[in-house]
């Protein structure tokens, strides 16, 4: 394959990566799909491909559907809540996503996508997010156009129900974020109750590999008491376990990368609506944080 042919693939890499991550919710799996797609691209004669972007989109989508079926089987026996691997927007991180990947990959959206069937997920993403025509989607999914429209419609209704839209001034969001993490690290339950919505939910993904809540925690009061207990336990940890943290944008949400008192690397992202924290997404599963490990050790 010539350098020119490689350049064609690289020209579409950001777009293809965006499809793969949204389809799979995994940075590692998305990278595997991209590698497989590149190898398949090398085996074709590029001059015979009239529309490389369409060809590559179909290739990546089909690979994602195959991998998604495997992933769903694994998630049926997953220990505790499942969260997608975090994507970090930070200039200091080589893993920062291209701009179009980060456009909307909030945990709320990714969890809503997770509840769709693989075909619904693909139809919705390809049409509503990536503006692909239903005629093209029909080829990718090997279904007729009417069936693809129905798949996308069902998915759209579900996503809208699960992921209400809202806006907040960046400065207000930053103020709430700072107050939340300050209160969380001090175990100030009273301050946390003031910041959390009454119907807030905390999800903690440890994957059964590290300590994490095995069930979502519902309600602002329960979440406040949870953090109060975490800090109480942390006080008994070895004092030589240095703790560091860094603010970051995680899946489009304000958050923090942190080395916890128990030595576990973790990310916490906050979903804020109407001046209150409505969602707390804590990721501690080391398998999902490998792409951040090198950064955390160099920053430590």
The residue from 162, 185, 209 where one domain ends is 162
Record the pTM: 0.79
Q: Which domain holds residue 233?
A: 170-299
Residue 208 and residue 104 in one domain: no
Residue 181 and residue 294 in one domain: yes
- pLDDT band for position 95 (50/70/90)? very low
The residue from 104, 138, 162 where one domain ends is 162
CA distance 142 to 62: 10
* pLDDT at residue 279 greater than cutoff 70: yes
Residue 10 and residue 103 in one domain: yes
Residue 132 and residue 249 in one domain: no
Tell me the pLDDT tens digit for each residue of 257-274.
Answer: 998 877 889 999 999 988
Tell me the pLDDT tens digit for each residue of 149-185.
Answer: 999 999 999 888 776 555 555 668 889 999 999 999 8
Model pLDDT, residue 49 = 83
Model pLDDT, residue 7 = 86
Indicate which CATH number applies to the domain containing 248.
Answer: 3.10.450.50
Number of domains in the chain: 2
Residue 105 and residue 195 in one domain: no
């Amino acid at each position: 394959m010539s350098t020119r042919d490689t350049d064609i693939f690289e020209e579409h890499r950001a777009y293809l990566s965006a499809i793969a991550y949204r389809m799979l919710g995994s940075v590692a799996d998305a990278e595997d799909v991209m590698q497989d797609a590149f190898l398949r691209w090398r085996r074709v004669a590029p001059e015979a491909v009239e529309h490389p972007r369409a060809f590559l989109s179909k290739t990546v989508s089909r690979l994602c559907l195959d991998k998604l079926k495997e992933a769903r089987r694994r998630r049926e026996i997953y220990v505790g809540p499942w969260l997608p691997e975090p994507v970090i927007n930070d200039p200091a991180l080589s893993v920062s996503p291209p701009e179009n990947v980060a456009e909307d990959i909030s945990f709320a959206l990714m969890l809503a996508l997770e509840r769709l069937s693989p075909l619904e997920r693909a139809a919705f993403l390809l049409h509503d997010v990536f503006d692909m025509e239903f005629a093209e989607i029909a080829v990718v999914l090997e279904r007729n156009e009417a069936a693809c429209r129905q798949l996308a419609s069902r998915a759209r209704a579900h996503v809208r129900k699960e992921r209400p839209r809202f806006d907040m001034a960046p400065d207000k969001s930053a103020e709430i974020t700072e107050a939340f993490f300050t209160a969380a690290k001090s175990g100030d339950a009273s301050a946390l109750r003031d910041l959390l919505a009454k119907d807030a939910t905390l999800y903690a993904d440890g994957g059964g590999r590290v300590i994490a809540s095995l069930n979502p925690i519902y309600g602002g009061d329960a979440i406040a008491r949870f953090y109060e207990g975490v800090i109480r336990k942390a006080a008994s940890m070895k004092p030589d376990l240095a703790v560091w943290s860094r603010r970051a944008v995680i899946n489009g949400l304000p958050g923090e990368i942190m080395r916890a008192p128990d030595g576990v690397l973790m990310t916490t992202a906050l979903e804020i609506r109407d001046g209150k924290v409505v969602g707390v997404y804590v990721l501690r599963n080391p398998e999902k944080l490998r792409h951040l490990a090198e950064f955390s050790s160099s920053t430590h």
